[in-house]
Amino acid sequence: SFQMELHRPESGNEIVARMISLQCRVVGHESDETLQRDLCWTKSEALRHVKDEKVDAICKLADLCMRKVSLERHADRKQPLVFMYNCTIGLPAYYSRRLDQESKDFCNNVLKPLLGDEFADAVWKVCSRSAWLEQNTRDWDGAQAAHITGAAQGYQESMAADASVVAENVNRMGFNFYG
């Protein structure tokens, strides 16, 4: 007998969350044409639910959050040569703190006036935790030897916690309607 499968279309919130995730993934991989194409397509999908200035602002916030967590993780490296570089020349902890403040200021001064406090707070949580999810995924992928010893377990636990916070806040972003 014939069975028809019905697929529920993605909500505006789900599309925006996917866009945020892709924006985070692009950071550090700006020359990857496939990621750029995927992000462009996802932005065009988001524009069906969200005005362009909001899409641009959300992508900017996700970019700031990803750059911040990447620098924060780099500042936490303990290898002696990396530690010396971080303390003398690179100063990733300093730049990470600056990006953290810049992202908070951007959320307060740009995103909240565009979206309202409640929706902007949900977008902030999705951007921030999507950035950590991406960073922990990268670190987990890079910890090949640690998979055998179990040392990479912390990355998996962090990834699960990040994914949980993202999932809790996606439906609170307010993009299930046009505008």
Given this model, what pLDDT does residue 91 score? 61
Tens of pLDDT, residue by residue over 4-50, are 787 777 899 999 999 999 999 999 999 999 999 999 999 999 999 89
Separation of alpha carbons 62 and 27, rounded Å: 9
More confident residue, 169 or 150: 169
Tens of pLDDT, residue by residue over 61-89, are 999 999 999 888 766 655 555 455 445 55
Given this model, what pLDDT does residue 9 score? 79
Given this model, what pLDDT does residue 162 score? 94
Tens of pLDDT, residue by residue over 113-166, are 999 999 999 999 999 999 999 999 888 877 766 656 666 677 788 899 999 999
Given this model, what pLDDT does residue 96 score? 77
Tens of pLDDT, residue by residue over 102-118, are 999 999 999 999 999 99
Given this model, what pLDDT does residue 156 score? 82
